[in-house]
Chains A and B, each alone.
Chain A
């Protein structure tokens, strides 16, 4: 990696200001960093597998920070990146064959699928948590294994979800302000449809998008996949309400959502065919780069998805965390690397430079100026605080991960909305499938 031009760096991002402000505000952090308890092994070399950044700046700043780490410690780090859904299988393969990258940045329940293959991360997670204001609850759920009473993974953050809509079209449909409840959203969707700017939410096997909005609705109505003891709880009046609501929403949607994969809503929105959808910040952020259609950027807004009858935030995001395999010869170097990368001097420019693509799991980073630098970025800051975890309200782990990977919830919604399966039958099918999954 070439040395970044410091001036250009300050110019292109708000990072410099943020870092300076933070270093000033929390001098204790800087000194804590010096006294790191993790000493890299002699001659250590690390191999990191992570997902390809959702935005180029992510990979660039991550590489710059890594170069700083190499310079400071003499430990060489080799980074391989894969498109994000491909990391989970690679990580599973590494766990299976007992060889591969030292550190993997994986998704959701990954560490719970093979906890005994992973290095105990308790010291690191607690050290980092203490230094940066602690973790959001969801992060703890995803990374702390209560059965073995230890942290199995280092929380990093989520690629946050929010509702993305066109302001002028919402106004045209009678909503100068974005609605605050589910009924309002449905009314807005109907208005948008009437004016020829329908909404669109994926009901296909889109890993991020389809799971995102269906879980938001399911939990929003108070439905849940499992109870805390992992007994199946999907068959409820609340789930039925969610399905009925989704069906009405689906009637207002643009055609073809059942075949949508993750890029489809981005493309339809960018083409000006979509009035409302749920997505990460990528739709808004790439609208900024669209020079031919500046109105797209000016007119697009992001909001935190409203709260439903369950009276709490029910956002579902993809959560990412870093875990170290026991086969790694250099676990201490790996821990020091993660500590270094999540320390303010590195994490601040990283989070700031990506402009909201990743919402950190550490509460301390919710105060970075970037989150309030534009009202359209702020909703993504709140994606972590308002988040629930997959399999809610059951235990995180293999069963929850499998239910998610097999699209049980998404397919239940699609069955009712698209395939005209009755509410009762759609729920029964999902319940049967969940029972099988949770039994194995």
Chain B
């Protein structure tokens, strides 16, 4: 055996080849993800500020933020934002998938058009929404006034609850297509025979949905919700562009507050602690997904 062939045959052993194949991903993720993450966790346990390394303070930053009503508000809104947006995206996305799962004229165009919100750069579509929700120039207000449904412009972003509601709606707008396409994929994996059998048994459409469609979509539901929750819980662009956390910090979330504290005000340690806080929630989500993937 020549040297080259020998190397090749050794490489072909599953053990060696396995490590060779995962090497690029390992280098990448260890170097550019795990290492900075460890640095970030370390940072959250120091009194570092911009331009100042600080010193180790243990869990003091975490104690500080837990005592901070703005952080508690941000944590509360982050969870509310995520839960409401996920429910909205799930129901509306599933309904859209059921519609798009039919064959009709122009279904292909409809599928790609309906995906647009998820595809468009978020900062730019958030700007379009900013204008649609403008207190003075909102075209939505204009329309509602013309229809005599309201008398004066709606103040979408000027009050705590209306601003929160508006942001949740825009987030649903952005993420709904992601659910729709995922469910569409799930629906195409369900055999038509099942529905035919159900129809013979005299099941109504709703019964068929509850007994067949919904249970069979369970695995993809878990995956979609988990992934989308991670996105939503760490959303930054949308809120930063539209409200910057205002009015009066009512729409702060983990990431906007962390950015404000760490970057604009330079409190790196505290900012890092705020940024790391949602990881607790994410690990819970991750465990759910890993479990459900393993079970399969």
Chains A, B in direct contact (C-beta < 8 Å): yes
- What residues of chain A have their CB less than 8 Å away from a CB belonging to chain B? 88-89, 92-93, 95-96, 113-114, 116-117, 203-205, 254-261, 264, 267-268, 271, 273, 398, 401-402, 405-407, 411, 414-415, 418-419, 433, 436, 440
Q: Is B213 at the interface (CB under 8 A from chain A)? A: no
Chain B 142-179 near chain A by CB (<8 Å), digits 1 or 0? 00000000001101111110010000000000000000
B175 CB, min distance to chain A CBs, angstroms? 23
When distances are taken between beta carbons in the complex, the residues of chain A under 8 Å from B50 are: 92-93, 95-96, 113-114
A114-B51, A264-B136 in contact; A205/B245 too (CB < 8 A)?
Answer: yes
Q: Is the CB–CB distance between A407 and B52 below 8 Å?
A: no
Q: Is the CB–CB distance between A259 and B156 below 8 Å?
A: yes
A255-B153, A258-B158, A436-B68 in contact; A117/B51 too (CB < 8 A)?
Answer: yes
When distances are taken between beta carbons in the complex, the residues of chain B under 8 Å from A116 are: 51
Q: Is the CB–CB distance between A259 and B135 below 8 Å?
A: yes
Closest partner residue, chain A, to B130 (CB atom): A261
Q: Which of B111-119, B263-271, B286-294 contacts A (4 or more CB under 8 A)?
A: B263-271
Taking chain B's interface residues, is the majority helix, strand, or loop, or is none over half, making it mixed?
loop
Q: Is the CB–CB distance between B153 and A440 below 8 Å?
A: no
B250 CB, min distance to chain A CBs, angstroms? 8
Q: Is the CB–CB distance between A401 and B265 below 8 Å?
A: yes
Q: Is B260 at the interface (CB under 8 A from chain A)? A: yes
Give Cα A88–Cα B268 distance, bound, in whole angstroms. 14
Taking chain A's interface residues, is the majority helix, strand, or loop, or is none over half, making it mixed?
helix
Interface residue tally of chain B, by bracket? 35 or more
When distances are taken between beta carbons in the complex, the residues of chain A under 8 Å from B155 are: 255-256, 258-259
- What residues of chain B have their CB less than 8 Å away from a CB belonging to chain A? 49-52, 64, 68, 70, 130, 134-137, 152-153, 155-160, 163, 243-249, 260-261, 263-268, 270
A89-B263, A259-B156 in contact; A205/B244 too (CB < 8 A)?
Answer: yes
B128 CB, min distance to chain A CBs, angstroms? 14
When distances are taken between beta carbons in the complex, the residues of chain B under 8 Å from A433 are: 70
Give Cα A405–Cα B50 distance, bound, in whole angstroms. 14
Closest partner residue, chain A, to B241 (CB atom): A261
Q: Is the CB–CB distance between A260 and B267 below 8 Å?
A: no
Q: Is the CB–CB distance between B163 and A89 below 8 Å?
A: no
When distances are taken between beta carbons in the complex, the residues of chain B under 8 Å from A255 are: 135, 152-153, 155, 158
When distances are taken between beta carbons in the complex, the residues of chain B under 8 Å from A258 are: 155, 158-159, 246-248
A95-B50, A414-B247 in contact; A264/B134 too (CB < 8 A)?
Answer: yes
A254 CB, min distance to chain B CBs, angstroms? 7
Q: Is the CB–CB distance between A256 and B249 below 8 Å?
A: no
When distances are taken between beta carbons in the complex, the residues of chain B under 8 Å from A398 are: 49, 265-266
- For A92, A255, A256, A418, the residue with the greatest tally of chain B CB atoms inside 10 Å of its CB is A256
Give Cα A433–Cα B265 distance, bound, in whole angstroms. 14
Closest partner residue, chain A, to B268 (CB atom): A96
Closest partner residue, chain B, to A403 (CB atom): B265
Q: Is the CB–CB distance between A259 and B247 below 8 Å?
A: yes
- 15 residue pairs from A and B, CB less than 8 Å apart: A92-B50, A114-B266, A204-B244, A254-B135, A255-B155, A256-B135, A258-B159, A258-B247, A261-B244, A273-B136, A401-B266, A402-B267, A414-B246, A414-B247, A418-B158
A-B contact count (CB 8 A): 118
When distances are taken between beta carbons in the complex, the residues of chain A under 8 Å from B265 are: 398, 401-402, 405-406
Give Cα A260–Cα B248 distance, bound, in whole angstroms. 12
Give Cα A377–Cα B10 distance, bound, in whole angstroms. 80
A198 CB, min distance to chain B CBs, angstroms? 11
**Across chains A and B, which 5 residue pairs bring their CB atoms closest together, nearest first?**
A256-B135, A114-B51, A259-B157, A205-B246, A259-B158
Residue in A88, A114, A256, A401 whose beta carbon sits within 8 Å of that of B136 in the complex: A256
A114-B50, A260-B135 in contact; A92/B266 too (CB < 8 A)?
Answer: yes
Q: Is the CB–CB distance between B266 and A402 below 8 Å?
A: yes
Give Cα A406–Cα B64 distance, bound, in whole angstroms. 16
A246 CB, min distance to chain B CBs, angstroms? 14
Q: Is the CB–CB distance between B246 and A259 below 8 Å?
A: yes
Residue in B244, B248, B260 whose beta carbon sits within 8 Å of that of A415 in the complex: B248
Q: Is the CB–CB distance between B51 and A96 below 8 Å?
A: yes
Give Cα A257–Cα B246 distance, bound, in whole angstroms. 11
When distances are taken between beta carbons in the complex, the residues of chain A under 8 Å from B159 are: 258-259, 418
When distances are taken between beta carbons in the complex, the residues of chain B under 8 Å from A204 are: 157-158, 243-244, 246-247
When distances are taken between beta carbons in the complex, the residues of chain A under 8 Å from B246 are: 204-205, 258-259, 407, 411, 414
When distances are taken between beta carbons in the complex, the residues of chain B under 8 Å from A117 are: 51
Closest partner residue, chain B, to A265 (CB atom): B136
Q: Is the CB–CB distance between B51 and A405 below 8 Å?
A: no
Q: Is the CB–CB distance between B163 and A419 below 8 Å?
A: no
Closest partner residue, chain A, to B152 (CB atom): A255
Q: Is the CB–CB distance between A257 and B158 below 8 Å?
A: yes
When distances are taken between beta carbons in the complex, the residues of chain A under 8 Å from B137 are: 267, 271
When distances are taken between beta carbons in the complex, the residues of chain B under 8 Å from A256 are: 134-136, 153, 155, 157-158
Q: Is the CB–CB distance between B51 and A88 below 8 Å?
A: no
A96-B50, A273-B136 in contact; A418/B68 too (CB < 8 A)?
Answer: no
A38 CB, min distance to chain B CBs, angstroms? 25
When distances are taken between beta carbons in the complex, the residues of chain A under 8 Å from B264 are: 88-89, 92, 405
Q: Is the CB–CB distance between A419 and B158 below 8 Å?
A: no
Closest partner residue, chain B, to A432 (CB atom): B69
A203-B247, A204-B158, A415-B248 in contact; A264/B267 too (CB < 8 A)?
Answer: no
Give Cα A204–Cα B264 distance, bound, in whole angstroms. 17
Closest partner residue, chain A, to B249 (CB atom): A411
Closest partner residue, chain A, to B133 (CB atom): A259
When distances are taken between beta carbons in the complex, the residues of chain A under 8 Å from B244 are: 204-205, 261
Q: Is the CB–CB distance between A411 and B248 below 8 Å?
A: yes
Give Cα A407–Cα B265 distance, bound, in whole angstroms. 11
Give Cα A256–Cα B243 distance, bound, in whole angstroms. 13
When distances are taken between beta carbons in the complex, the residues of chain B under 8 Å from A93 are: 50, 263
A151 CB, min distance to chain B CBs, angstroms? 18
A89-B263, A114-B52 in contact; A259/B243 too (CB < 8 A)?
Answer: yes
A259-B243, A267-B137, A271-B137 in contact; A406/B153 too (CB < 8 A)?
Answer: no
When distances are taken between beta carbons in the complex, the residues of chain A under 8 Å from B261 are: 406
A255-B155, A259-B163, A436-B68 in contact; A92/B243 too (CB < 8 A)?
Answer: no
A261 CB, min distance to chain B CBs, angstroms? 7
Closest partner residue, chain B, to A116 (CB atom): B51
When distances are taken between beta carbons in the complex, the residues of chain A under 8 Å from B52 are: 114
Closest partner residue, chain A, to B247 (CB atom): A258
Give Cα A268–Cα B261 distance, bound, in whole angstroms. 31
When distances are taken between beta carbons in the complex, the residues of chain A under 8 Å from B267 are: 402, 440
Give Cα A255–Cα B157 distance, bound, in whole angstroms. 11
